[in-house]
Amino acid sequence: MRKEERLAKEIIEQLGGADNIMDVASCMTRLRVRPADPSKVDIAAIKKIDGVLGLVEQETLQIILGPGIVTKVANEVSEITGKTAKLVDEEDGNSFEGLADRTKADLKQKNATPFKLFLRRIASIFIPLIPAIVASGLIAGITNVVVRSGADPESTIIQFLNLIGWGIFGYLGVFVGINTAREFGGSPALGGAAGILLINPGLANITLFGEALVPGRGGLIGVMLAAAFIAILEKRIRKFIPSSLDIIITPTLSLLITGIATLFVLQPVGGFISDLITKGLLSLLDIGGILAGLVLAGTFLPLVVTGLHQGLTPVHMELINTIGDDPLLPILAMGGAGQVGAAFAIYFKTKNERLKKVIKGGLPVGILGIGEPLIFGVTLPLGRPFLTACLGAAVGGAFQAFFKIATIAIGVSGIPLAFLVKDNQILLYLIGLLIAYVFGFLFTWLFGFKEEMAKGI
């Protein structure tokens, strides 16, 4: 029997059978299911299944299996249950249709607070764009390395690669506008049009109050404000327009009013918020230096566990959009590196074969920047190793902050992030990564793990 087939059957059995599964979905590392009767689910038994790296109980039951295998298991579960396995773009977003209409009891769950739901809404605007941004950033980054190595920057192949690599960043506002309008229940095309209002080069030809407008002013924050505004406005206008005229009048009025509101209000407000975020963060890193890097890296993984890290996605994007690079991401990437170092220490120290097996499954993807299997399957359940991993991350973050390492795009952390780091800083980033590994290992080896901690794993 294939591994994914075995996993699917064992998981379904402990979920209470195929009839107890209402929905199935998968993301990068997790199999997500919504049981009809939660009382039939044996949580402890699921955790003990060979191949299950961890389990998170949120709005849906999220079984951590790791990248690659999770999609195959989801397909097997889909075949057995007859439920279509949906593919989710983000790690913590809504997996199933109708989740927004949950009962009040569901909304009172710990992980469904209004603030966290707001962060998820913001994250859902940006996270679907990450594959294109990562791909473009990698191509652009590798091209820069090739040019620095002596290639002719005017050659056709380099020009072609630059066209592919940097293309999306010139039109990012359109994509953000589309996703924002969709998220707020409006027409995606109108959201894209709202995004164009802020990046259109024609803005430079318009003068208001004695000052020429600046294309891009307000950044992605301004785009989100304009796109959310047009989505809400569209729904309000539609209530008063006859159905026969809706297709003509509703979008026209929505775009016209949004255009005026954007130029006079939303763009300036977006610019103020954008400046506040970027200048505030850059000042923090400049003034705080090593201490700022230490604190940011050391406290990042607790944010990941609570889901609050989703609110940082637009911050990364705004930094890249505004100043051309992101000095925050390399610092926060050390969080995962500390986990890797801690996992190595536990692996060499423990005699628990099941724990060793979980670590062996989580380490490769952890090194490649996907830390959830190690967090939820190893360090967090053990307790103290999670803290020592954060300490190791803090040392690596201090190093990244001291040398002002920055990326040209966002993507997964770990070794792959090196391709997104500014080309003259790649070696320094990798040294910082190694430092986080080493200190995560040392802190955990010296006082983070004792064998008795593994008894409940």
List active site positions: 27
Q: Which two tokens stand for residue 55?
A: 């389990």
Instruction: Please identify which residue in the block is written with the tokens 């926060």.
Output: 332
Distances (CA, A) of 253 to 52, 190, 231, 244, 267: 53, 11, 12, 15, 19
DSSP state of 129: G
d(CA 361, CA 327): 31
Q: Which two tokens stand for residue 3?
A: 């591994």
Backbone φ and ψ for 30, nearest 5 degrees, come out as -115, 140
SS3 content of the chain, % helix, strand, coil (to 5): 70, 5, 25
Q: Which two tokens stand for residue 335?
A: 């969080």
DSSP state of 149: T
3-class secondary structure for 197-259?
A: HHHCHHHHHCEECCEECCCCCCHHHHHHHHHHHHHHHHHHHHCCCCHHHHHHHHHHHHHHHHH
Query: 224: closest CA among 264, 265, 261, 191?
Result: 191
d(CA 319, CA 414): 20
Query: 22: closest CA among 103, 112, 96, 102?
Result: 96
* CA-angle at 34, arms to 102 and 40, nearest 5°: 115
DSSP state of 112: G
Total count of residues recorded for the chain: 457
User: In 82-170, where does DSSP find H-type helix?
Assistant: 104-107, 114-126, 130-148, 156-170
3-class secondary structure for 283-329?
A: HHHHHHCHHHHHHHHHCHHHHHHHCHHHHHHHHHHHHHHHHCCECCH
Q: Which residues contact 266 (CB under 8 A, 6 or more apart)?
A: 218, 222, 225, 226, 229
